[in-house]
Amino acid sequence: MAHPLEMRVLTQGIGEVDLTRIENYEAQGGYAALRKALKQMTPQDVQAEVKKANLRGRGGAGFPAGVKWGFLPDDGRPRYLACNGDESEPGTFNNRMLIEFNPHLLIEGILIAAYAVRASKSFIYLRGEFKKGARVLEDAIEQARAKGYLGDNILGTDFSQEIVVHRGAGAYICGEETGLLSSLEGGRGEPRNKPPFPAVAGLYGMPTVVNNVETLCNVPFIVERGADWFLSIGTENSPGTKLFSVSGMVRRPGNYELPLGITMRELIFDVAGGLLPGRTLKAVQPGGASSPVLLPEHLDLPLDFDTVQKAGSILGTAGVMVFDETVCMVRTALYYADFFSHESCGQCTPCREGTAWTARLLRKIERGQGTMEDVEVLKSLDTLMSGTTICLLSDFSKTFLMSVLKHFPEEFEAHIKGRACLAEQPQEVRSA
């Protein structure tokens, strides 16, 4: 049963009805928004409504979708829509749920967005691991086609649209929007310099909109219920609901759809069932691996884009990872360092060398062979790896590390001076 704080909009029916069947999706009002958009609204109307709703991108950056759509130049070239379903940010698993269990909502959102920006074709880029997601979406697309929602002359109008499901094959960087486009064009998923932004020169050099799965899943509701309804949920600058992926040391890990602005305390202690028995809270990453830690003192912080940023972190993907006293921050930083070093595409020296150095130094420290000088080198990487690279992976790769160096210096010292770990780790973790 849903927790009273939960607000099921995008997730309505998930777990109760089989929404992969189009008739069940229609029975709860599905595809009515597409009909409304196509028959009663112009593309400009749809854009205006989404802009008014201030739908902020759910893929990490929080940029308003309606504004982004307005950047496409009107120069007669073909335009494309790419849905970002690469979902690879550690700690994040909400797109996957929407794809596997509410595929028609995503398809409807893509079709409406494609109509709004007058795209000639749409693509869904799925990470390679989402093989089931690809199956579910391919099947849902054929169901939608059979009902006249997709293909030529949708619902008897002169709007036509195809959606192509494209599977990646194991590369985190393909989630970065220009890396995604490079990959979709049939090459290495290497990010490109911006500007030009995808809106101007995206897929095959054409104007392209890239939006996250969850962002697009909000579009049908905004069209159907109106921007004012959307603005009535959440906070002033972060309207709407958000799917929070909660994991780590809580009793009920999972995806929870809640109004933006719910406090971290409500999310962790009410909705996700609280900590494991007898444990104490140490730190929380509110937005995936790329987010700096928040501390127990932040428990009453409302989780919305701007407030979390003011507190020194980012809401990012809302992949909320909860760490208690058994979690070693040095070791956690090492896991991330290995991850980012492996996922760096290698085009930029600060990122390629910096992520590798970080991993090497942290491994040394974690094994009790580090020096306090190593810590200083790590700190110096903060500026060396910032703001000089093609994409933000370099910047993001060290935000967690810098935050724990600041808030938990004693753990690094203990590993170095005492050759000991301060965290009381469960047996299976300590064994390595």
Partner 1 sequence: MSAENGRAGAERAMENGAAQAAPWWERRAEDVERLIGKYPNSRSAIMGLFWMAQEERGYVSDEDLNWIADKLGLTRGYVDSTITFYSLYHLQPVGKYTIIVCNNVICGLKGSEGLVQELERLLDVKVGGTSADGLFTLQTTGECIAACDGAPALQINQEYFHKVTPERAKLIIERLREGAELEALSEEIGLTKPGAVWEEGD
Ligand X SMILES: Cc1cc2nc3c(=O)[nH]c(=O)nc-3n(C[C@H](O)[C@H](O)[C@H](O)COP(=O)(O)O)c2cc1C
- Name the binder of 58 from partner 1, ligand SF4, ligand X, none, CB < 5-8 A by kind: ligand X
Q: Which does 187 bind (CB under 5 to 8 A by kind): ligand X, partner 1, ligand SF4, none?
A: partner 1
Q: Does position 289 bind partner 1 by CB under 8 A?
A: yes
- Closer CB to ligand X, 57 or 287, in the complex: 57
Under the binding rule (CB under 6 A), the answer on residue 183 touching ligand SF4 is no
Which one of residues 45, 152, 185, 228 is an interface residue with partner 1 (CB under 8 A)? 185
Residue with Cβ nearer ligand X (233 or 423): 233
- When the beta carbons of 122 and 182 are compared against ligand SF4, the nearer one is 182
Residue 174: Cβ-neighbour burial (10 angstroms; 0-12, 13-18, 19+): buried
Among 183, 241, 290, 403, binds partner 1 (CB under 8 A): 183
What's the length of the chain?
Answer: 432
Nearer to ligand X, 84 or 313 (CB): 84
Judged by CB under 6 A, the chain residues 184 through 223 that form the site for ligand SF4 are 191
Q: Is 252 exposed, middle or buried (0-12, 13-18, 19+ CB in 10 A)?
A: exposed
d(CA 168, CA 181) in angstroms, rounded, equals 11
Q: Between residue 318 and residue 377, which ones bind partner 1 under the rule CB under 8 A?
A: 319, 321, 327, 331-332, 335-336, 338-339, 342-343, 345
366 binds, among ligand SF4, partner 1, ligand X, none (CB under 5 to 8 A by kind): none
Taking CB under 8 A as the criterion, the residue among 100, 224, 353, 395 binding partner 1 is 100
Question: x/- contact string, 370-409, with ligand SF4 (CB under 6 A)?
Answer: -------------------xxx-xx---------------
User: Does 281 participate in binding partner 1 (rule CB under 8 A)?
Assistant: no
- Considering only residues 216 through 275, tell me which ones interact with partner 1, judged by CB under 8 A: 245-255, 273
The residue among 15 and 170 lying less far from ligand X, judged by its C-beta, is 170
In the complex, the residues that contact ligand X under the rule CB under 6 A are: 57-61, 63, 65, 84, 86-89, 173, 175-177, 210-212, 215, 391-393, 396
Q: Contacts with ligand SF4: how many residues (CB under 6 A)? A: 14
Whole-number Å distance between alpha carbons of 30 and 36:
11
By C-beta, is 257 or 366 nearer to ligand X? 257
Tell me the residue nearest to ligand SF4 as measured from the CB: 351
Position 277 contacts partner 1 (CB under 8 A): yes
By a kind-dependent CB cut-off of 5 to 8 A, residue 394 interacts, out of ligand SF4, ligand X, partner 1, none, with ligand SF4
3-state per-residue secondary structure call for the chain = CCCCCCCCCCCCCCCCCCCCCHHHHHHCCCCHHHHHHHHHCCHHHHHHHHHHCCCECCCCCCCEHHHHHCCCCCCCCCCEEEEEECCCCCCCCHHHHHHHHCHHHHHHHHHHHHHHHCCCEEEEEECCCCHHHHHHHHHHHHHHHHCCCCECCHHHCCCCECEEEEECCCCHHHHCHHHHHHHHCCCCCCCCCCCCCCCCCCHHHCCEEEEEHHHHHHHHHHHHHCHHHHHCCECCCCECEEEEEEEECECCCEEEEEECCCEHHHHHHHHCCCECCCCCEEEEECCCCCCCCECHHHCCCECCHHHHHHCCCCCCCCEEEEEECCCCHHHHHHHHHHHHHHHCCCCCHHHHHHHHHHHHHHHHHHCCCCCHHHHHHHHHHHHHCCCCCCCCHHHHCCHHHHHHHHHCHHHHHHHHHCCCCCCCCCHHHHCC
Residues in 190-209 that interact with partner 1 by CB under 8 A: 190, 204
For residue 289, state whether it binds ligand SF4 (rule: CB under 6 A).
no
Q: Which is nearer to ligand X, 183 or 332 (CB)?
A: 183
Q: Closest separation between CB of residue 32 and ligand X, Å?
A: 23
Which of 132, 194, 367, 406 forms a contact with partner 1 (CB under 8 A)? 132
| Residue 348 touches ligand SF4, criterion: CB under 6 A | yes
**Which one, of 67, 49, 140, lies nearest residue 98 by Cα?**
140
Residue ranges binding ligand SF4 (CB under 6 A): 173, 191, 344-348, 351-352, 389-391, 393-394
